[in-house]
A and B are shown apart, each in its own frame.
Chain A
Amino acid sequence: MQLAVFVARRLAVLVPTLFFVSVLIFSLQKLLPGDAAIALAGEESDPAVVAGIRAKYHLDQPVVVQYGLWMSRVLRGDLGDSLRNKIPVTELLASKLPVTVELAVCSMLVALVIGIPTGVLSAVRRGTPIDVAANAVALSGLSVPHFWLGIMLILLFAVKLGWLPASGYVPPWEDLGRNLTTILMPSFVLGTGVAGVMMRHTRGAMLQVLSADYVRTARAKSVPERLVVLKHALRNALIPVITLGAIEFGRLLSGAVLTEQIFAIPGFGKMLVDGVFNRDYAVVQGVVLVSAGLYVVLNLLADVLYFLANPRLRGA
């Protein structure tokens, strides 16, 4: 029951948050220099054509009117059509969402599989060469630019060895095998970046927990070290890692611009960048709104997870 109240309260905050986001993205975009109508007209920049475009997409109306027109359609579930290729934005989003989710999930898997064990290991073996090595790996994962790592992987595995395709995403329902081969390198690139962060945080949290009283007590009761680390310490250390995981996952869901470009993966990031360069307002607004929504929902989920994981919060 308490959980229900908690969730309801959080959901109530969600509405003004999303409203604020919608106003923000709408107005920020209008602040972009460069006329959308001229961007759309391109080389054939006949003034009559430009004026026609402006009228067609209500770009000649006051900004408040434009926002109202957009919002009234958004509330009816219509995000408008892409100004550039006339495809409804909802359709575009629906086609990108599975791609982005798949990439985010796979990257998160890579991050968790690498990040948490190395974090635990380096905390337990603090100060040893293992700790130093794990730190070095984590730092390099964090600091190597994604586009560079991506290109290097392509050159090695696609051009030189020919094991994996260099580009071209295939949906899993079309050809699962090819899907996994195309998603492998980008997930690795994104995952190693996140893994570094996860490792550092896991290590920090573990060090703190390992010096806590109850761990000393457990050891005093001669609980096997393996159990102390994995059961008593890790479980508690995971709380900050969950928060971080949710934030990182949210970031991955809002699109990985460079990685998507390099591996030619048609996800949110690529759509957003194309949208900004082409002044395709409808697309940019749609992507940002949905990403923001996902982000907020993920944060809510993380809060619920703490609520379940940490009994102390329930009393509050």
Chain B
Amino acid sequence: MSLLRRLTLTLAIALLAAGPAAAQSVLRIGLNDDPDALDPTISRAYTGRLVFAAVCDKLFDVTPDLKIVPQLATGYEWASDQKSVTIKLRPGVKFHDGEPFNAEAVKFNIERHINTAGSFRKPEIGQISSVDVINDTTVRFNLSEPLVPLLAALTDRSGMMVSPKAAKALGDKFGTRPVCAGPYRFVERVAQGKIVFERFPDYWDKANIHIDRVEFVPILDSTARLASLRSGDLHMIERASPTDLPEIRGDSRLKVSGVPELGYQMIPLNVANGPRAKTLSDVRVRQAIDLAIDREVLIQTVFNNEYIPGNQWISPTSMYYNAKLPVRKRDVAKARQLLKEAGQPSLTFTLIVPPERDRQEAAQIIQAMLAEAGITMNIQTQENVTMLTNGRKGDFEAYFTFWSGRPDPDGNVFTHNTCKGAQNDSRYCNAEVDALLTKARQTPEPADRKKLYDQATEHLLRDLPRLHLWHRRVFTGYNAKVTGFTPYPDGIIRLRGLKLN
């Protein structure tokens, strides 16, 4: 008994000792999952990008309306043939280990991104054939082909600059102790537990950094994550679920922001990928499926109108959206007629859906809508990686996936719809679309690019290799004590200007 009493006493004392935190300000951000390696060259998880915002600055950043602005760079200039771009660098910038950031460091980083085995950046910037160091604060990237979207890649992980000295010393373990030039420097990481950063005293823009420490805490369960926000254990949560919104809005200590995402939710249809393409290879069949879906009702019933119905590879809020081709009204009669013309009046196909609430519920609504047009859609649940593997192999008729989106329109459409595109699981191939999308890559002027994309969209909406259904909003829930927060469509939380009162 005395042991128990002693234990109770210890516990009581411990509870009392767990008093107020230290005077340092600590911002705790809840993540939806645990990021992979914190090395910009081999990172791929979305959540990693949220963490990089603390530790690694990039050559460029985007504004909330997706304009490209300098960060570690100060400016750029395209050559007249778009085959090289000259970039001016910010002078006096230091990495966390005290090493200088300069043209040599940029050359090292670009070459590291391209030459490291297993680099995920190579597909983004592999067209950089060489880097010339012009002087300490000027570099020139020479390209193997004109590629305007390159600059947008430099606003993300491809543009992140790590300390060459640390990268050489740590080798492929760099991701366990990242050393960059961002506002915060790495302290520790407890896998599946937390990632801790402290303010970097020599940061080039330190006047705009107000919080001493930042901790990223992965919590997979959305209810538990929301509870942690409400209890004050977390100050911010990324990608809050639409089902969390009533609770957040009902709590006066909390705030929520929502901006349209860059990407889209979609169903690729098997047009020509292996023997299973047979069912949906006729364009009229694909059009019929498209016409039988009522996107407005879908968004209303499943997402309480918090998301945005869509029909293109970019959200209606973007300048690259083709406004002449808005979301069409549902037309069941027309759908039936198209099926009859195609000789498949009682079409049956299978949609693969991962075990995830949003897409499962949407699939059921779509199933009911298609039934009204005489289409039987079977739902087959497959775990995500299995589904994507089958997508690659062509072992599908239709599957339910999404694209997280890129700031440059090219990243949303090129590899998905060109004949040889890496993301083109449908194996859709249209020479005109290929030509238009390739031309757009070589055209720097946004107004000229828009014309090319508008034409490509016309083809894509007629041929329908994939059904674009909706665009989520990126919701960020945060404590009212957090001020100075600006939401971005990429969902990444910028720490510059953020205050904790």
Contact = CB atoms under 8 A, between A and B. Distances in A.
Given A42-B44, A44-B120, A279-B385, A154 B175 contact: no
B37 A177 contact: no
Nearest to A147: B221
A279 B15 CA distance: 40
Interface stretch (B60-68, B222-230, B291-299, B300-308): B222-230
B175 A169 contact: no
A262 B422 CA distance: 37
B490 to A, nearest CB: 13
Contacts of B383: 33-34, 277
A261 B422 contact: no
Interface in B207-230: 217-221, 223-225, 227-228, 230
Nearest to A178: B18
Contact of B191 (A46, A52, A95): A95
With most chain A CB atoms within 10 A of its CB, the pick from B122, B225, B227 is B227
A84 B422 contact: no
B28 A168 contact: yes
B228 A46 contact: no
B194 interface: yes
A167 B228 contact: yes
Interface in A94-153: 95-96, 113, 147, 150-151
B78 interface: no
A135 to B, nearest CB: 24
B120 A177 contact: no
Contact of B217 (A33, A175, A261, A264): A264
Contact of B15 (A44, A162, A181): A181
Nearest to A155: B227
A21 interface: no
Contacts of B234: 167
B231 interface: yes
A180 B1 CA distance: 21
Interface stretch (A2-10, A60-68, A266-274, A306-314): A266-274
Interface string A172-210: 000111111100100000000000000000000000000
A157 B225 CA distance: 15
A150 B122 CA distance: 44
Given A85-B175, A177-B14, A181-B15, A34 B192 contact: no
Interface in B127-159: none
A82 B403 CA distance: 26
B23 interface: no
Given A159-B231, A165-B233, A262-B221, A45 B385 contact: no
A150 B224 contact: yes
A159 B193 contact: no
B44 A56 contact: no
A138 to B, nearest CB: 20
Contacts of A96: 191-192
A95 B4 CA distance: 29
Given A86-B176, A167-B228, A270 B192 contact: yes
Tell me the dominant secondary structure on chain A's binding face: helix
A43 B194 CA distance: 24
B18 A266 contact: no
A38 interface: yes
Interface in B35-64: 35-39, 42, 44-45
Contact of A56 (B16, B117, B220): B117
Contact of B219 (A155, A264, A277): A264
B205 interface: no
Chain A interface extent, by class: 35 or more
B15 A177 contact: yes
Contact of B118 (A32, A53, A150, A181): A53
Given A41-B120, A180-B14, A180-B15, A168 B385 contact: no
Contacts of A273: 220
B191 A92 contact: yes
Interface in B189-206: 190-194
Interface string B1-39: 000100000010111111100000000100001111111
A69 interface: no
Contact of B224 (A41, A46, A52, A151): A151
A85 B221 contact: no
B385 A264 contact: no
Given A49-B118, A85-B175, A169 B231 contact: no
A166 interface: yes
A218 to B, nearest CB: 24
Nearest to A264: B219
A249 interface: no
B325 to A, nearest CB: 26
A86 B39 contact: yes
Contacts of B501: none
A158 interface: yes
A39 interface: yes
B389 A87 contact: no
Contacts of B233: 158, 165-168
B117 A85 contact: no
Interface in A1-57: 32-35, 38-49, 52-53, 56
A38 B389 contact: yes
Contact of B194 (A52, A168, A178): A168
Contacts of B252: none
A43 B389 contact: no
A295 interface: no
B376 interface: no
B118 to A, nearest CB: 5
Contacts of B191: 82, 85, 87, 92, 95-96, 266, 271
Contacts of A56: 117-118
B37 A86 contact: yes
Given A86-B172, A92-B191, A181 B14 contact: yes
A263 interface: yes
B329 interface: no
B36 to A, nearest CB: 5
A252 B187 CA distance: 31
B223 A162 contact: no
A165 B194 CA distance: 15
B423 interface: yes
B385 A35 contact: yes
Given A56-B117, A151-B223, A177 B17 contact: yes
A266 B17 CA distance: 23
22 contacts: A34-B383, A35-B392, A41-B44, A41-B120, A43-B404, A46-B415, A48-B122, A48-B123, A85-B34, A86-B39, A96-B191, A113-B4, A158-B233, A165-B231, A165-B233, A166-B230, A167-B228, A168-B194, A179-B14, A262-B224, A264-B217, A270-B220
Given A56-B117, A86-B42, 12 more contacts: A42-B45, A44-B123, A53-B118, A158-B228, A158-B231, A159-B231, A166-B231, A177-B15, A180-B11, A264-B218, A271-B192, A278-B36
Interface of B: 4, 11, 13-19, 28, 33-39, 42, 44-45, 117-120, 122-124, 172-173, 175-176, 190-194, 217-221, 223-225, 227-228, 230-234, 382-389, 392, 403-404, 415, 422-423
Pairs A-B, 9 closest by C-beta atoms: A266-B193, A34-B385, A177-B18, A177-B17, A158-B231, A34-B386, A42-B44, A177-B14, A166-B231
